[in-house]
A = this chain, B = another copy of it.
């Protein structure tokens, strides 16, 4: 599963299971015979783009290695309402213990992938990429980012540690400290590793030239109108990548993309996720 090692996945799932069953599942333990078997289907109640197949399967395996899960869809695959995305078989107690954690994770991931795909479709034919932000769910960032990729999006930096993004607040501190932005950019470049991407956010047209002249890899134009974006792209003139951010919506993204920007970042991909409606249909064996 790209972007997630199996050890990291297990860590996330084990915490989720400990949270959801800190001292067992008292319903199944009192209502279900230990020997009861169950089959279950992961069924889509609405159309979407799948993400989280390996996560889903791993929850059942960690609860009970004897459970089998067959994935019927790949991450990134579009599906119709009523599609069956996976088949599960195992002890009834184990299947029902794993159900909620598996669904909570997969519904979120599929929700992210589905929304991302809509944005990606909306900008088709332009040079713009749809990318995520750090507005992810604390503790689940590797899954959120994977889901964005499942939907055809790209990832922005993972964290504060792996790429520079100097925002308005940084610029304000610089200014208050009496420091020149161009100098600061050049000084930062000299200190950063050669493989660290340097991006600076501006919110006014006149900031663009000095920032680009100082040598950034990407310039983020925050809350620019399409016209302003078009003007900004012209000023940058290929000297850096151009990222549009701020208030991007499904009905405005095409206009933004048409301005020639390279990247459109959208916090809503991950900060306000509508869980896709997936359910587990359980059938039992006599």
> Which of A75-83, A169-177, A222-230 faces chain B?
A169-177
A192 CB-CB contact with B under 8 Å: yes
User: Given the complex of chains A and B, what is the CA–CA distance between A195 and B217 in angstroms?
Assistant: 8
Residue total for A at the interface (Cβ-Cβ under 8 A): 110
Choice from B160, B192, B272, B275 contacting A25 with Cβ under 8 Å: B160
Docked-complex contact A139 and B25, CB < 8 angstroms: no
CB within 8 Å of B: which of A148-192?
154-166, 168-170, 172-179, 184, 187-188, 191-192
Q: Which DSSP category, helix, strand, loop or mixed, fits chain A's interface?
A: mixed
A19 CB within 8 Å of chain B: yes
8 A Cβ contacts from A117-166 to B: 129, 131, 134-142, 145, 154-166
Closest to A30 in B: B188
Q: How many whole Å from A192's CB to the nearest CB in chain B? A: 6
A4 within 8 A of B: yes
Among the stretches A9-17, A207-215, A248-256, the one at the interface with B is A9-17
Contact of A161 among B21, B138, B218, B241 (CB under 8 A): B21
Contacts of A184 in B (CB 8 A): 31
B-side contacts of A170, CB under 8 Å = 27-28, 31-32, 96
Copies of this chain in the oligomer: 6
Residues of chain B within 8 A of A139, CB atoms compared:
12, 15-16, 19, 138-140
Query: A31-B184, A174-B31, A218-B194 are contacts. A5–B24 as well, Cβ < 8 Å?
Result: yes
Nearest CB of B to A209, in Å: 19
The reply on A69 being an interface residue by CB < 8 A is no
Q: How far is the CB of A144 from chain B (nearest CB, A)?
A: 11
Which chain B residue has the least Cβ–Cβ distance from A285? B176
A137–B195 touching, CB < 8 Å: no
Q: Give chain B residues whose Cβ lies under 8 Å from the Cβ of A136.
A: 104
* Cβ contacts A74-95/B at 8 Å (1 or 0 each): 0000000000000000001000
**Closest residue of chain B to A187, judged by CB?**
B30
Instruction: Assess whether A97 is in contact with B272, with CB atoms less than 8 Å apart.
Output: no
**Contact call B285/A174, Cβ cutoff below 8 A:** no
